[in-house]
Amino acid sequence: MNQDDDHKHRNEVTLRDVSAAVGLGMSTISRVLRNHGSFSKATRDRVMKAVDELGYVPNRIAGALASSGSNLVGIVIPSLHNIVFPDLLSGAAVALNPIGFQTVIAVTDYDIEQEQKVIQSMLAWRPAAFLVTGLEHTGRTRSMLKNSGVRVAELLDTDGEGIDLVVGFSQREAGAVSARHLLERGYRRIGYIGPQFSFDPRARKRFEGFSQVLAEAGIEPAETELIGRTSSTEAGRAALERMLARNSNLDAVYFSNDDFAVGGLFHCFAKGIAVPSRLAIMGYNGLDIGRFAPQPLTTLLTPRTEIGEIGARMVMEGGDPQVVDLPFEILEGATT
Amino acid sequence: MNQDDDHKHRNEVTLRDVSAAVGLGMSTISRVLRNHGSFSKATRDRVMKAVDELGYVPNRIAGALASSGSNLVGIVIPSLHNIVFPDLLSGAAVALNPIGFQTVIAVTDYDIEQEQKVIQSMLAWRPAAFLVTGLEHTGRTRSMLKNSGVRVAELLDTDGEGIDLVVGFSQREAGAVSARHLLERGYRRIGYIGPQFSFDPRARKRFEGFSQVLAEAGIEPAETELIGRTSSTEAGRAALERMLARNSNLDAVYFSNDDFAVGGLFHCFAKGIAVPSRLAIMGYNGLDIGRFAPQPLTTLLTPRTEIGEIGARMVMEGGDPQVVDLPFEILEGATT
DNA sequence: CACATAATTGGCAGCGCTGCCAATTATTGC
DNA sequence: GCAATAATTGGCAGCGCTGCCAATTATGTG
């Protein structure tokens, strides 16, 4: 009556079907497919042939349950609209793909409550490791992560207490280096444009490092503009316009990222403000768009792809918790 | 002797532990946690309390195996370095997160063999749906996808045969519209700069649509520069420089994306080439960076975020295979 | 050629959860 | 107050695979 085979759910091909087709035990098929344990060459060929003919696709859900281990790596980033994070993902992919791991990606929109939620639901898949952004998390996120027994790498920032592995650089120091760069060139009336600190702790730390160096030289940021949660050319352009309207006496502006900075640079081009003689501009991140602008942007190149790659590699390798500090570098352009 | 509890693997808290702690059957706990089936308010509270105290995290691997259904959605994109794809992901996230689905993301590097590999390994996790880019796949990818019974949405391009759901717009028509825009403004000696067609079928289709409209007007692209697999300001800048060195007689250049176009625009700024009077520039995608350039770039705004969102929503809703064509729009800047 | 050793292979329990259905308890109608 | 109905709850099989170990077969040794 029933034209289906005697399978339960759908007509899915299982290990058992392959086993029956080849006439070997399920364990043998499993060993061949995972290339683990011993089996003869002939067996291997027969199994592969049957797998191909039947169109068998191993069910990793069952595999993971039986072996209590998945090949999933959870990656949590605040946004996809800042190229830094896609770069981080690319770096991680370079380390993970060759060893057969897959990435489950979640975006938090710079909200640590949201981060807690997504980490909790990722944890339900028992990932092999977590790559998260920054060191700022809710207490519950920390404890979930610690209790889970899953290895964690916190990326990008080394200024603070990590949970396990930390790979990045000092955001404070990056800000400090930028301040020194401007001071060395004689700028003294310096503005700052960046995202609202409430949602980007790394930008805040850079600003703190920046301000501290200025303070040591006896000066403080002359003007500050904080931008809502976007990182766009438009926002940078508008912010610089507002800032100059308030105070046209500035000699330099430090932007918290290159998107903003390029927007600022565009504003100067459009208004005929001479850069850097009338106003110097400095960015952060070393984006392509700034480096190849008509007037190359002075910025600070961050090793974000390497951070992703090294973070992923080290977290998979195991080893003791540690902090890995990677170098960044000032790119001298023509805007300072 | 053994200070561990009598658990097998690690000290993981399971449903059984919660069940024991609350003094209710496992099925009841499971029903409460999934908010499915019936249970009393009092039971609910007791269960939640115990879950909290024990730090129980449901194991979705086991859940998915038992119920044959995961909350994972596989997303396959060619690259992360072109903002189009992060935008697609953001759109998909908007549709998927609220309904509790998680995204497993793989990058193919514009290689359909690589795409086949990643889809095969994603299939092992029995995702609830697939979102893939474009209509060009290996035959094996197609058949795997069809046989899997998993719903598939192919995004961005509607010029061709889909597997199931297709959400995007006609790449050919986008190219054609751009050509008409340039012709209407009187440009006749037109160059084209874009990625090598071998790895970007959508760029090829746009170029075909573009060339066809030119052909109907009795002209053909005066110059063509194809760039390796990168989409950067630098590459666009260098390509325009090479093209103008070969042929300084052009009156317009159509760039296959805004990153290249902005590079071209930068080249013109740097060399003092008047835009558009001496050379017109047109881009594609409607990126922020072009829209807010000192001289706003004329480009074509693509609905990529909507494509991600609508594609994800529709593929999850079920329904018959269909093609959804979304509108794009010319953004008139000051470069044509 | 008998025996030790190595290489293959099979059987079975169980990973942690859900679906189904039966059992139990609470509520309602007359 | 008792049967009938609805609301809760529990038991158990089994999702598809892997780990362990025993069974079988092939290979080597003196």
Q: Determine the Cα–Cα distance for residues B92 and B77; give it in Å rounded to an integer.
A: 12
Compute the distance between CA of residue B150 and CA of residue B93 in angstroms, rounded to an integer.
19
B165 forms bridges with which residues in the sheet? B153
pLDDT one-digit tens code per residue, B131-177: 999 999 999 999 999 999 999 999 999 999 999 999 999 999 999 99
Q: What is the pLDDT of residues A177-201, one digit of tens each?
A: 999 999 999 999 999 999 999 989 9
Nearest beta carbon to residue B60 from set A60, A124, A291: A124
pLDDT tens-digit readout, B180-192: 999 999 999 999 9
The rounded distance, in Å, linking the Cα atoms of B122 and B128 is 11
Is the C-beta atom of B172 closer than 7 angstroms to strand D? no
* pLDDT of amino acid B5: 38
Q: How far is CA A179 from the centre of its chain?
A: 25
Chain A 15..44 CB hits on strand C (< 7 A): 23-28, 31, 37-40, 42-43
Strands B223-227 and A190-195: unpaired
CA dihedral B145, B147, B150, B152 (to 10 degrees): 40
Residues of chain A with Cβ-Cβ distance to B233 below 8 Å are 288-289, 291-293
How many residues comprise chain A? 336
Buried b (16+ CB within 10 A) or exposed e, A73-84: bbbbbbbbbbbb
Q: In angstroms, what CA-CA distances link B273 with A160, B223, B267?
A: 50, 18, 8
Q: Is A301 on the interface with B (CB under 8 A)?
A: no
- Run of H or E including B212: helix B201-216
The angle subtended at Cα A294 by Cα A289 and Cα A300, nearest 5°, is 45
Place of tokens 């190219």: B175
Taking the C-alpha atoms of residue B88 and residue B308, their distance in angstroms, rounded to an integer, is 4
Report the pLDDT value the prediction gives residue A230, as an integer from 0 to 100. Answer: 75
CB B304 within 8 A of CB B88: yes
Per-residue pLDDT of chain A (336 residues; tens, 9 = 90+): 333 333 334 578 999 999 999 999 999 999 999 999 899 999 999 999 999 999 999 999 999 999 988 999 999 999 998 889 999 999 999 999 999 999 999 999 999 999 999 999 999 999 999 999 999 999 999 999 999 999 999 999 999 999 999 999 999 999 999 999 999 999 999 999 999 999 899 999 999 999 999 999 999 999 999 998 776 899 999 999 999 999 999 999 999 999 999 999 999 999 999 999 999 999 999 999 999 999 999 999 999 999 999 999 999 998 899 999 999 999 999 999
The answer to whether residue B218 scores a pLDDT higher than 80 is yes
What local confidence, expressed as pLDDT, does residue A10 receive?
54
Contact B10 A149 (CB under 8 A): yes
Residue A318, pLDDT score: 86
Q: Could you give the residue ranges of the DSSP H alpha helices within B102-193?
A: 112-123, 139-148, 171-184
Q: Smallest Cβ distance to A105: which of B57, B103, B232?
A: B103
Retrieve residue A264's tokens.
């600022």
What sign results for the dihedral spanned by CA atoms B88, B90, B92, B94? negative
Identify the helix (H) or strand (E) that includes residue B216. helix B201-216
User: β-pairing, B329-331 with B299-301?
Assistant: antiparallel
Please state whether strand D lies within 7 Å of residue A59 at its CB atom. Answer: yes
Q: Find tokens 């064509």 and name the residue.
A: B325
Q: Tell the burial category of B82 from Cβ atoms under 10 Å away from its Cβ (0-12, 13-18, 19+).
A: buried
Q: Are A114 and A334 in contact (CB under 8 A)?
A: no
Å between CA of B104 and C1' of D7:
40
* Cα three-residue angle B48-B95-B70, rounded to 5 degrees: 55
Each residue of B303-312: pLDDT tens digit? 999 999 999 9
Q: Among A79, A78, A94, A73, which Cα is nearest to A307's? A: A94
Helix intervals (H) in chain A? 15-22, 26-34, 41-54, 60-67, 84-96, 112-123, 139-148, 171-184, 201-216, 233-246, 258-271, 288-291, 304-317
Q: Which H or E run includes B189? A: none
pLDDT band of residue B4 (cuts 50, 70, 90) is very low
Task: Indicate if the pLDDT at residue B201 is higher than 50.
Answer: yes
Residue B232 CB contacts under 8 Å (≥ 6 apart), including other chains? A288, A292, B259, B260, B263
- Domains plus CATH for chain B? 15-58 (1.10.260.40), 69-169+304-326 (3.40.50.2300), 171-301 (3.40.50.2300)
Nucleotides of chain D touched by protein CB (<7 A) = 7-21
Dump pLDDT digits (tens) for A72-115. 999 999 999 888 999 999 999 999 999 999 999 999 999 999 99
Residue B122 CB-density burial (10 A; 0-12 exposed, 13-18 middle, 19+ buried)? buried
Confidence of residue B230 (pLDDT cuts 50, 70, 90): confident
HSE-CB for B6 with a 13 A CA cutoff? 2
Strand, helix or coil for residue A83: coil
Banded model confidence at residue B228, pLDDT cuts 50, 70, 90: confident
Tell me the pLDDT of chain B averaged across its residues: 94
Q: How confident is the model at residue B318 (pLDDT cuts 50, 70, 90)?
A: confident
Nucleotide C14: closest residue by CA–C1'? A66
Mean pLDDT, residues B50-69: 94
Which nucleotide does the CA of A47 lie closest to, via C1'?
Answer: C9
Q: What are the φ and ψ backbone dihedral angles of B61, each rounded to 5 degrees?
A: -65, -50
Q: What percentage of chain B's residues is helix, strand, coil (to nearest 5)? A: 45, 15, 35
Query: Residue type for A57, please?
Result: V
Stretch among A258-272, B2-16, B82-96, B232-246 having the lowest mean pLDDT? B2-16
Contact A233 B83 (CB under 8 A): no
Tokens of B287: 């990126």
How far apart, in Å, do the first and last CA atoms of chain B sit?
A: 82
A21 CA, C1 C1': Å apart: 39
Residue in the block written with tokens 């996809």: A80
Query: What is d(CA B281, CA B100) in angstroms, rounded to the nearest whole number?
Result: 44
Q: A-chain residues within 8 Å CB-CB of B123?
A: 57
Which candidate from B80, B104, B125 shows the least CB-CB separation from A89?
A: B80
The answer to whether A293 and A265 have CB atoms below 8 angstroms apart is yes
Measured from the Cβ of residue B98, the count of other Cβ atoms closer than 10 Å reads 8
Say if A51 is an interface residue toward chain B (CB within 8 Å). Answer: no
The tokens describing B243, both together, are 């093209």
